[in-house]
Amino acid sequence: MCGRYVMAKAVGDLVAEFDVQESYLESIEPSYNVAPTDPVPLILDRRDRETREISRKLVLARWGLVPSWAKDTKGAARLINARIETVTEKPSFRKAASQRRGLLPSMGYYEWQKTETGKIPTFLHGAEQETLAFAALFENWPNPALPDDHPEKWLRTATIITNAASDAIGHIHDRTPLIVPQDMWADWLDPETTSESDVRALLDSIPEPHLVPRIVGDRVNSVRNNGPDLIDAVEEPQGGLFS
């Protein structure tokens, strides 16, 4: 699974890197320890109802999907990830997989390698330190407690699709975020791709990522800690493990 990641890019950087035409964010608070239910930047393509032109947008979402039919937001923290194997079938995800796909920009993510004597916190990032684009789904949830004209009536939430990890990083964790390469961003975001078979084919065509693991310090274990020092490499502790 992916339960913690890094997103410390400025709005201008994301607009340029992802060819965004419309940004609804003035600034983004950098985070080296993004955790479930945190606000995160989301890239999506939508077709204008009047002009019929597709525009790429940068918006804010909360990490942890809340299906539009949910009665409340209590289950959001449990839906931070969606398994690629069942994402087009499960009721919580299948409509979003068909109609609401997005990209969550990231500089990398954390996993904790389990061993007999403890866990090793590891930061996984692109080989060229490039921005990663996690395959995401999003939903818009109407808060039934608020009137239709309330500015906070709608809550946008997102989940990260995960896949089985390759042998190269599978020893660290058996799941990894599905990472969309740049030459497939437009295909992934295309709002015209809606049938289950086409979405399934799109999912299956995304190649394995090439990620580099870096052992980091155990300060990342607490969501209260943040800052660029969290991704600094450390020597493997004596005995080979963090407790």
Catalytic residues: 2, 111
CB-based contact 9:229 (threshold 8 Å): no
CB-based contact 22:55 (threshold 8 Å): yes
CB-based contact 180:203 (threshold 8 Å): no
**What does DSSP assign to residue 218?**
G
Nearest in space to 17 (alpha carbons), one of 159, 126, 162: 126
Positive or negative: CA dihedral 77, 80, 84, 89: positive
Q: How many CB atoms lie within 10 A of CB 116?
A: 5
Residues with Cβ within 8 Å of residue 70, at least 6 apart in sequence: 141
Instruction: Return the HEC string of 11-62.
Output: HHHHHHHCCCCEECCCCCCCEEEECCCCEEEEEEEEECCCCCCEEEEEEEEE
- Do the bridges between strand 154-164 and strand 101-106 make them parallel or antiparallel, or are there none, so unpaired? unpaired
Task: State phi, psi for 186 to the nearest 5 degrees.
Answer: -65, -40
